Amino acid sequence: MTQAMQQLIRRLERLPAAIQDRYIRRFSKELEEELSAEQEAPSEETGRVPFERVKHLAGIIEGGPSDASTNKKYLEGFGESSMH
């Protein structure tokens, strides 16, 4: 992880959770836009799935969930349609 990323994380961790959440949502939106733009204009990153490009960001906010599976509503109904 770069020094700039480490500094960013330390700054985010000092903010109240609601503000951290707002910044993370904004970052996620911009990241999605960036990934979409890269899909239109291939680069050396082509061939890597999006998660591989951002997996180093998983769980970076102290006190936050490490993945979506910690949100029970997120997984509600998962796999049920395949059982019918």
Percent of the chain topping pLDDT 70: 69
Annotated domain spans of the chain: 3-79
- Using one digit for the tens of pLDDT, what is the confidence trace for 24-47? 888 888 888 888 877 776 555 556
> Does the pTM of the predicted model rise above 0.85?
no
Cα–chain center distance at 79:
23
- Is 71 in contact with 65 (CB distance < 8 Å)? yes
How do residues 4-16 score in pLDDT, each as one tens digit?
888 888 888 888 9
Q: What is the pLDDT of residues 49-82, one digit of tens each?
A: 677 777 777 767 776 666 666 667 766 777 777 6
Closest CA to 15 of 63, 68, 58: 63
